[in-house]
Amino acid sequence: MKLTILTTVAVLLLWFISGRSLRAAEDFAVTLTVSDGASHQEATTQPAAAAAPARPALECKVGGVIEARWKVTSTADRLMKDVLVHFYVVKTDRAGQAPPALEPKNVLVESALTMDFDPKSSTRSAMNVRPEEPGTYLVRIEADEGPDAAARITFAAVDLVVK
């Protein structure tokens, strides 16, 4: 009897966790393209799990103009209210590093917008940025569903290696 209850609880817990993950994965599709004019790297919605694949990296020359393009599309079948779409390029210590604190001196560009997403609606942006110093930069776009307990951050990211 005890074993049955424990098994049921475990199955429900797994179902709940996987259901949340699946639902979160389906709420937004995020794409990010970073280009220096000669070559480019693309990233799409990436899992937040530790087992996430390595981020794509673009190598470029210091002082060159880099273009970043992103698009966030709702894949949910319901209205998503007050979603925060947050983009930034920040200097990091190494490629693949977790997002650091956004100290103003290290942030080349940061943008944020809030929007209600109807099903299938989207927002997009293209912008130029010119890294002045060699180093590694994280280029990241996030769709943050808000402070709700079930909310998720969906993101895509590329490392920019400036030499």
Partner 1 sequence: MKIIVIACLFALMFGRVARAEHFNIDLTVESGKEKAEGHADTYPPAAGNNPRQVLRASREAPLIIQFFFKSNFPHDPIKNVTVRYFVALVTKPGEVPNPSKTDTVSGSFVMDFKPKGEQTPGGKVGLRQQFRLQRAGTYLVRVESENTDTDHEHFAALDLIIE
Provide, rounded to whole angstroms, the least separation between the CB of residue 7 and partner 1. 46
- Residues binding partner 1: number (CB under 8 A): 23
Whole-number minimum distance, CB 52 to partner 1, in Å? 27
DSSP per-residue string spanning the chain: -HHHHHHHHHHHHHHHHHHHHHHHHHHEEEEEEEE-SS-EEEEE-B--STTPPPPPEEEE-TT--EEEEEEEEE--SS-EEEEEEEEEEEEESSTTPPPPP--GGGEEEEEEEEEEE-TT-EEEEEEEE---S-EEEEEEEEEE--SSTT--EEEEEEEEEE-
Q: Does 132 sit near partner 1 (CB under 8 A)?
A: yes
Which residues, numbered 51-90, are part of the site for partner 1 (CB under 8 A)? 65, 67
Contacting partner 1 (CB under 8 A), which of 6, 23, 44, 116?
A: 116
Q: Which residues bind partner 1 (CB under 8 A)?
A: 65, 67, 104, 107-116, 121, 123-130, 132
